[in-house]
Amino acid sequence: MIRKIILLICLLILAPLVGISQERGEEAIVKTDTLRRDKNVQILGLPVVFYTPETKFGFGGGGQLFLLSDKARFNNRISNVLVTAIYTTNKQLIFEALPEIYLGKGNYFIDASYRFEIFPNSFWGLGPNTLEEDREIYDQTSHILEANFLKRLPPNLNFGFTFRFANHQITEVEEGGLLDSGLIPGSDRAVITGFGAIFNLDDRDDVGSATSGNYLSFGARYSSKLLGATQGFNTFILDLRTYRPIGKKSVFAAQLYLENHFGEVPFQGQAAFGGSKGARGYFKGRFIDKHMYVLQGEYRYRFHPRWAVNAFGLFGSVNNEARELYRFENLKPSLGAGLRYKILKDKSTWLRIDYGAGKDGQNGIYFGVNEVF
C-alpha cells in the first residue's frame, strides 16, 4: 500500500509534465499545457492517470475547452467543457463529457454530463449489513445523460429543471448469484428517465476548489414508465456545503448529503455509499439502498499557490427505511488525507490524490480532478 501511495504521488507530480510532452509536435515546443488560445477560446490538453478501488489504475486523455467571452462567464467562473476517455486495468472503458456553460453573463447556467461505460463491477446485495463474502462480479454497459438548466436570481439563487436518462444493460452475471436470481430490480436491464426540479443557493468563490461561501441544493425528480423507464420512482436529494477560511492559507469545508428514493427502484438508481465523490474509504456501491446520508468535513491547507494538502473525516449509512437510517450500529466512518496540485496558475483545475480508510478493513486510493466537494 505504501508503495502504491508513493507511486501515485510521483504520477501526480509528473502529470503536468506528461501533458507538456504530449503537446510537443513537429511544429513547435509548447511551453504550457495550452493547445490553443485566442481572445475567446482556450483549449487545455490533459493526460488522465488515476486510481480508485472501483477501477484500479485508469489511463487516458482528454481536453478542457474554456470559453473566455465576457458573456460566457459569471464572476471568476468560466464556461468550459471537459472531455475525457479512459481505459482501466479492470478492463473498463469510460467516456465522459462535462459541459458547464454560462449564458447572458451568468443569468442562465447549463450544467450537463454524458457518460458511456463498459464497466465490470462488484455487487454485494442491498442494505447496510451486506457481507464481504457475498461479493459477485457483473458486467454492465451504460449510457447516462443528465442536463440541468438553471435561471439565476441575483445575486446567488438559482432554480430550474433537470432531465435524466440512463440505460443500464447487464451483459454478464455470476451463475447462481443474487443478480442471476432475478429478484433484484435492475438485475437484467434498467432504464431510468424523467424530469425534475432543482433549486440552489451558490455563493462559492470557486467551483473547482472553493475557499469561501456556501452551496445549498435541493432537487426532486421522478422516473416514469410513461417516458420509457423500466420502473417508476421518485428521488429527493439535499446537498449542503460550506467553506470557511481559517487564516490566509487554510479552509475548513463541510458537506451534508442526503439521498432518498421512493417506489420500485432498480439497484442502479439507488443510493450508493462509497467512492471518490461520496464516501472515500469505501468501494462505491459497497452498500446500496433506497436512503443514504453522508456527513463529511475536510481541512485544506494551501502551502503554495499551486500546492495544497488536506485531511478529512466522514460518516454515514444506507437503509431501506428512512426512519432506520440513523441507527448507530449501521454507522460507517472513514478518515483520510491527500495532496493537491493546480495545473495552471490562472485556471481552477486541480489534480488530487486521497487515501481513505473505513470500517472493517475498507480503504482506497483516489486520484482524480478537482475537489470532491
**pLDDT digits over 300-320, tens only?**
999 999 999 999 999 999 999
pLDDT exceeding 70 applies to what percent of the chain? Answer: 90
- How many structural domains is the chain composed of? 1
Cis amide bond preceding 155, omega within 30: yes
Residue that wins the pLDDT comparison between 28 and 103? 103
Q: Is the pLDDT of residue 48 over 70?
A: yes
User: Which CATH number characterizes residue 200's domain?
Assistant: 2.40.160.50
The per-residue pLDDT for range 196-222, each reduced to its tens digit, is 999 999 999 988 889 999 999 999 999
* Enclosing domain of residue 132: 2-369
Q: Could you identify the residue written with the cell 440552489?
A: 200
The per-residue pLDDT for range 223-240, each reduced to its tens digit, is 999 999 999 999 999 999
Residue 127 sits at φ, ψ, to 5 deg, of: 115, 170
3-state SS of 37-78? ECCCEEEEEEEEEEEECCCEEEEEEEEEEEECCHHHEECCEE
Distance between CA atoms of residues 94 and 367, nearest Å = 15
Task: Count CA within 13 A, CB hemisphere, residue 78.
Answer: 17
Residues 6+ apart with CB under 8 A from 166: 142, 143, 144, 145, 190, 191, 192, 193, 268, 269
Distance between CA atoms of residues 157 and 149, nearest Å = 13
Q: Residue 34 forms beta bridges with which residues?
A: 44
Question: How many degrees, rounded to 5, is the angle at CA 244 between CA 240 and CA 246?
Answer: 155
C-alpha cell at 221: 425528480
Q: Is the pLDDT of residue 9 over 80?
A: no
What predicted TM-score, i.e. pTM, was given to this entire model?
0.84
Residue length, the chain?
Answer: 373
Of 129-133, 294-298, 315-319, 341-345, which gets the smallest average pLDDT? 341-345
Q: Is the pLDDT of residue 22 over 60?
A: no
Distance (Å) of CA 184 to CA 58, 128, 190, 225, 288: 30, 16, 11, 18, 12
In terms of Cβ atoms closer than 10 Å to its own Cβ (0-12, 13-18, 19+), residue 82 is: buried
Q: Residue 143 forms beta bridges with which residues?
A: 116, 167
